[in-house]
């Protein structure tokens, strides 16, 4: 999911596990309840319509990835964990 967002793609993903942390539903991606084909279909339609009316959604998705998952934030997170263990 984060790789897609970093490349400007908007994910439609099930709302579970890491996908929830990687997307803000309706702002940087679209989430649907797992194992519900109807919810998936609705999320796809919503994503398509929203992207047409809000082209900046791609920029928000890439900015979220940069802010939370790029090297600098991940390094800070790792250093914090190592300090706790020391």
Q: What is the pLDDT of residue 36?
A: 94
pTM of the model: 0.76
Q: φ, ψ for residue 25 (rounded to 5)?
A: -55, 125
Instruction: Kindly list the domain boundaries of the chain, sorted by start residue.
Output: 2-85
CB neighbour class for 50 (10 Å; exposed up to 12, middle 13-18, buried from 19): middle
Class of domain 2-85: alpha beta
Distance from chain centroid for Cα 70: 13
The secondary structure of residue 23, as a DSSP letter, is -
Residue 83 pLDDT level (bands cut at 50, 70, 90): very high
- Enumerate residues 6+ apart whose C-beta is below 8 A from 56: none
What is the rounded CA–CA span in Å between residue 39 and residue 35? 9
């Amino acid at each position: 999911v984060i790789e897609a967002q970093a490349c400007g793609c908007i994910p439609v993903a099930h709302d579970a596990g890491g996908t929830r942390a990687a997307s803000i539903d309706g702002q940087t991606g679209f989430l649907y309840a797992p194992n519900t084909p109807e919810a998936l279909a609705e999320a796809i339609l919503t994503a398509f319509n929203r992207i047409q009316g809000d082209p900046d959604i791609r920029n928000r998705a890439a900015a979220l990835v940069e802010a939370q998952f790029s090297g600098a934030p991940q390094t800070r997170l790792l250093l914090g964990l190592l300090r706790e263990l020391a």
